[in-house]
Structure 1
């Protein structure tokens, strides 16, 4: 079983990748997307989104990182893919899943799932440009408006030469609403030979096992679930119990002074509030903490709150909280 940390635009940056891979359990990570339009992007763009490139494409804990590209022009994507590889990316991933309206309006992300031929052209151009020995992978959803082209899209990506395919088990229109339709991944798998990684609505070990059962895939990708339970990958592997709230609080505190490759965490107040939005799915204390800090704008004020003893739950500090199941399990 391989477990991949999903790309999440505006959420899983290099600081979060470092923290989650230090907690452990991930085989590799995929970056937030690099938007490619009509030019070969300068090196600084890649170093900004993937500073791990300065560390042989590895997080400080040694987990490989793969640059993700998003765009619609095959030739420009191919040129930028070569640049990413030359800078040290461990392969290149192509984004055919982003549901953001602004991205889709400019013919990027999930809107390309309406055009299997476009998928083929993009993957084929990138695969031909990227030297052998370096993987070209893709991520897609089950479709845009519906699932009618799901198999054809996956076959186009496979026939164009992709090495593997991650599938988020919902359409663009379905967004992130439960459930995830893991059984549709199994249908795609029955009509392709490409290695498939299942993604969507995996919040617990039980979810992961059910996803594997229904999708017929051993490999999985974790996104929101890993933010809601930072050691989810280790829990799924059977190496750990879910983190206690006190351990999670320490991670939040550590994040305040985090520095990696000379870059400190930016927008700390907003990022902590954002992270608490995911954590409250698994930890009830996260909601009360959010209410306490939601009007705070200074990092030092938030750190002071985090540093206070959590007396209400002190007796439970070494015990994991009951973990909630979710629709789609």
Structure 2
């Protein structure tokens, strides 16, 4: 989730627990071999054994359309020993699709096969390779063709967001369509369901309809940091109350202060509060209190003094 779920939020969310693995925001590959510092800037966990401070492994994600360039960059990335490499064929952003990245490639399964195959050959045989896809670009007519292209070219796991690019993020997610893909693939290929999981009940229905035994959480986890814990308990608890979240909010704020330019710091906290409003009434109240504040010191006083 570019611009939102970066290494700072990964750090905080994995401290809560319930998460088995993370995938980084995408690293855009165009026509050059990126220096190592680009990979470590976007995925600083590479400097910590490929894990968050809480010990959760992180796969680094690449996005691009040139098989040779993708393979060369994957080989360099592999030298930094990530917990695995993930390929992005799911991003619906217009600016990304316009430059032949993300979901637009779902109209080109032959190219997808070239990219996945080239990356698979370029990295160590024991390094996990996964791919993220949607059900299609403008429609679902090539869903299975794309999934087979990825799996047969060397992706060991597919994460399927159960909507097309045209669907965007509008409900519903078509979890049952994931089941059709899973049934057609070799059982050795893992399939992870993704899309529109906000609650434990959503998770239960998603797993049932998709036939999967694993979920990827995105916006739902940002809105409710205790969601993964609650899903593991399947309703035994709701994960994390507002008061328990506050030390993690402060940890996030300290991370933002250390890594983000001052003019953007307030925006990062308000961005997270905006998502948290979906699950916590207290977040809505806090957001209204700080929404017009852009000076970091003033925001810190207004939010954290009140929160304490």
Is 1:195 matched up with 2:193?
no
Is 1:85 matched up with 2:74?
no
Which of 126, 130, 134 does residue 133 from structure 1 map onto?
126
CA distance, structure 2, for counterparts of residue 162 and residue 35 of structure 1: 19
Highest RCO, 1 vs 2 (Cα 8 Å, sep ≥ 6): 1
CA distance, structure 1, for counterparts of residue 271 and residue 166 of structure 2: 23
Structure number having the greater helix percentage: 2
Residues 249 and 306, structure 1, Cα contact 8 Å, conserved in 2: no
> Cα distance, 1:252 vs. partner?
2.2
Equivalent residue number for residue 98 of structure 1: 91
CA distance, structure 1, for counterparts of residue 60 and residue 306 of structure 2: 40
> Cα distance, 1:276 vs. partner?
1.4
Structure-1-length-normalised TM-score: 0.88
CA distance, structure 2, for counterparts of residue 29 and residue 273 of structure 1: 23
Which of 296, 300, 303 does residue 299 from structure 1 map onto?
296
Two-structure CA RMSD over aligned residues (Å) = 1.6
CA distance, structure 2, for counterparts of residue 129 and residue 250 of structure 1: 42
> Cα distance, 1:79 vs. partner?
0.8
CA distance, structure 2, for counterparts of residue 73 and residue 254 of structure 1: 39
- For structure 1, list consecutive stretches of 5 or more residues without a partner in the other structure: 1-7, 312-329
Which of 145, 165, 184 does residue 152 from structure 1 map onto?
145
Which of 264, 279, 283 does residue 280 from structure 2 map onto?
283
Residues 253 and 306, structure 1, Cα contact 8 Å, conserved in 2: no
Q: Kindly tell me the number of residue pairs found equivalent between the two proteins.
A: 302
CA distance, structure 2, for counterparts of residue 35 and residue 259 of structure 1: 23
CA distance, structure 2, for counterparts of residue 205 and residue 213 of structure 1: 12
> Cα distance, 1:164 vs. partner?
0.4
- For structure 2, list consecutive stretches of 5 or more residues without a partner in the other structure: none
Which of 233, 243, 246 does residue 246 from structure 1 map onto?
243
